[in-house]
Amino acid sequence: MRRRTQCLRTLGRCALVLAAIIANSALAQAQEPATREAATEQAQAEKSKQLHPYVTTKAERFIDKAETILAGSAIHWHPFFENAYPGGGFAFGAGYAQYVSPYNVLDVRGSWTIPGYKRAEAEFTAPRLFHRRGSLKLLGGWREATQVAFYGLGNDSPSDERFNYGFTQPRALGELEIRPTRRFLTLRGGFEYTNWNFQPGQGSSPTVPANLPGVDAEITYRHFNATAGFDWRPSPGYARRGGFYGVTLHDYRDSNTNFGFRQLDYDIVQHLPILREAWVLSFHAFAATTDTKDDQRIPFFMLPYLGSGDTLRGFPSFRFRDRNTLLLQGEWRIMVNRFLDTAFFYDAGKVAAHTSDLDFNHMHTDYGFGVRFHGPLNTPLRVEVANSREGLRLVFASSPVF
């Protein structure tokens, strides 16, 4: 009897285990999707239970902030490195930008340099006028320069005879740009009302001689300018392809009819991408010619010049001045990442009293290397080292060279 009872108990346990296996198998078959679409839906439903908003890391937030600043789209507080005038040294500044409509921006900003150059201004920009075929810029401000260099006139002016001068300048300007076909053809017109208040120069160099045109004068200009050209660059502020070919006419009208003149600028920019734009060969040619009105004269500080972080980078600012200028530049640009480019460059240029002397003889040259921190559309910081027969120079700039 005891053996029979144990057998019955064993059979009962086996039956229970078998029943559990059958039940689990049936449940699994019931839950298994009948089709591939049902299986996909079931998998998506399971994943949706585990979804949650992505939490960015500190490094990602820093990169996003840097990209916003480099793209030139920083709203509210932002750095502002533009100098009041070339040659003033590195500028410390800040601005506050605010949207006044979906696309239009008002930017109030200012900067200061150790030599005492000051700049304060407010700028309104409307980038999408006439169905994105036009843009408008309005600016009002004031600036002061304390020790602007003057080395004399002509292509052979000596480097050891520097004079200084200063000025204050309130100004107001407006500029309208139209692209009738959205691409290529570019028409631009502008008006500037400005008052030049000449001042003696500060610093260790003597002030400019009193016999130069415009010394100790207060000149009020109504400046009209008009540009016609072809522009197929993605952006003038940063480009690795495309080009610009344009001519600009400047008309400076002196309210006292003593210092009126005209200036004509010829500008060519060409970018040739290599290796899917990882390398770029960029070239720039620029010429400026001037013409006086009747018996009026051109103030010495309004004459075209060479020598700055945008022209002959191996020479001091305003190293060469005269009635006409010619500048040729070439760069080999290498893309490092989406924020950084490097470049090897070569500059050549000269000034002349007559347009017939704007040839390739006796040109001043320099060469160097630089890095550019940029966004998709602009270049907020450019650092370069340039070498010329007058030595090495370090360039800090908040704009592209061309």
Tokens of residue 389, six digits = 């027969």
Q: What is the pLDDT of residue 57?
A: 77
pLDDT score, position 27: 44
Q: Judging by DSSP bridges, how do beta strands 105-112 and 118-129 pair with one another? A: antiparallel
Q: Using CA atoms, how far apart are residues 171 and 169, in angstroms rounded to an integer?
A: 6
Question: Tens digit of pLDDT for each residue in 196-232?
Answer: 999 999 999 999 999 999 999 999 999 999 999 999 9
The answer to whether residue 24 sits within a structural domain is no
* Amino acid symbol at 4: R
- The answer to whether position 59 is within a domain reads no
pLDDT (0 to 100) of residue 7: 52
Question: What pLDDT does residue 219 have?
Answer: 96
**Dihedral sign from CA coordinates of 380, 112, 298, 149:** negative
Residue 402 domain-assigned?
no
Contact (Cβ atoms closer than 8 angstroms) between residue 319 and residue 154: no
| Per-residue burial over 68-86, b = 16 or more CB atoms within 10 Å of its CB, e = otherwise | ebbbbebeeebbbbbbbbb
Instruction: Report whether pLDDT(386) > 70.
Output: yes
> pLDDT higher for 116 or 64?
116
pLDDT class of 48 with cuts at 50, 70, 90: low
For residue 94, what is the domain's CATH number?
2.40.160.50
- Average confidence (pLDDT) over 151-175: 97
pTM: 0.82
In a domain, residue 32? The reply is no
Question: Going along 80-117, which residue ranges are E strands?
Answer: 92-99, 105-112
Average pLDDT over residues 134-141: 98
Question: Rounded to whole angstroms, what are the CA distances from 319 to 202, 313, 347?
Answer: 18, 10, 14
Least confident of 68-77, 159-168, 189-198: 68-77
Average pLDDT, the chain: 89
Q: Maximum Cα–Cα distance for the chain, whole Å? A: 141
pLDDT at 294: 87
User: How many distinct structural domains can be found in the chain?
Assistant: 1
| pLDDT at position 1 over 70 | no
Q: Is residue 41 part of a domain?
A: no
Q: What are the structure tokens assigned to 151, written together? A: 């080395």
The top-scoring range by mean pLDDT among 26-40, 55-69, 170-184 is 170-184
Percent of the chain scored above 70 by pLDDT?
84
Flag whether pLDDT at 10 surpasses 70.
Answer: no
Residue 317 domain-assigned? yes
Q: What percent of the chain has pLDDT over 90?
A: 76
State residue 165's pLDDT score: 97
| DSSP label of 88 | S
Identify the H or E element spanning 63.
helix 58-70
- Residue 26 confidence (pLDDT): 47
Integer Cα distance of 79 and 104 in angstroms:
19
In the predicted model, is pLDDT for residue 246 greater than 50?
yes
Q: How confident is the model at residue 242 (pLDDT cuts 50, 70, 90)?
A: very high
Q: Is residue 198 part of a domain?
A: yes
Whole-angstrom distance, CA of residue 200 vs CA of residue 216: 8
**What average pLDDT score do residues 269-297 get?**
95
Q: Can you give the residue range of the structural domain that contains 231?
A: 78-397
Establish if 377 belongs to a structural domain.
Answer: yes
pLDDT band, residue 321 (cuts 50/70/90): very high
DSSP per-residue letters across 301-333: GGS-EE-SSSS-TTS-TT-EE-SEEEEEEEEEE
